[in-house]
Amino acid sequence: MRPTNNIDFKSPLLGRGKGEAVVIIDNYDSFTYNLVHAIKKISGLPVDVIRNDELELSDLEKYDKIVLSPGPGLPEEAGFLLDIIREYAPTKSILGVCLGHQAIGEVFGGKLKNMNKVLHGVATPITVTENKTHLFDGLPETFAAGRYHSWIVSSENLPDCFEVTSYDNEGMIMSMQHKQYNVQGVQFHPESVLTPMGERIIENWLKAFPTPPKERF
């Protein structure tokens, strides 16, 4: 098992913005409200939901943590999703899930690759790399995760600003983190019932200090 994060929600790690702590950018996906439920259940924190094409970028200034939800299609088709990452990656804690993960990859120069086989509602083993990430604190080195996607962030010519934190059995990137910013993405769905350790992953993200990965250890 990986080391456990002992930070609690009573410590002043959240709420450093000008109001609500967490906002979820809804990319028109039903899993968005699974994320809302999980965050509220784990932390009791207030969670706002804003659709990707129904916002001004300045609306997000008051939040400390931004979740980029799953969704259909490609990142460039998802409203202001890419602009949100460009604007707030240097100053906010961002977690991208599935489409959100792919959007993070694209913003920083990564390429998407269409998979030969579509995975929809399939659980596969995910293996954690040696790169340190608080997301997987307390998890075994290999765990099951639910997947719903036909695109991945390609491992070929992955920008140097990223480090991969987990792979599947075929070597496809399942999670990564930015080396400078507090920006992370997971290709799988931690909010899915097919990811038994998913709530722990979300909890680890919520509890983490709002500092870049290289400064956390």
Confidence at residue 21, expressed as pLDDT on a 0 to 100 scale = 84
The residues annotated as belonging to the active site are 98, 189, 191
Confidence at residue 22, expressed as pLDDT on a 0 to 100 scale = 96
Confidence at residue 49, expressed as pLDDT on a 0 to 100 scale = 98
Confidence at residue 132, expressed as pLDDT on a 0 to 100 scale = 81
Q: Write out the DSSP string of the chain.
A: -PPPP---TTSTTS--SSS-SEEEEE-S-TTHHHHHHHHHHHH---EEEEETTS--GGGGTT-SEEEE---SS-GGGSTTHHHHHHHHTTTSEEEEETHHHHHHHHHTT--EEEEEEEEEEEEEEEEE-SS--GGGTTS-SEEEEEEEEEEEE-STT--TTEEEEEEETT--EEEEEESSSSEEEESSBTTSTT-TTHHHHHHHHHHS-SS-GGG--
Domains of the chain, start order: 22-215 (3.40.50.880)
Confidence at residue 209, expressed as pLDDT on a 0 to 100 scale = 53
Average pLDDT over residues 84-96: 98
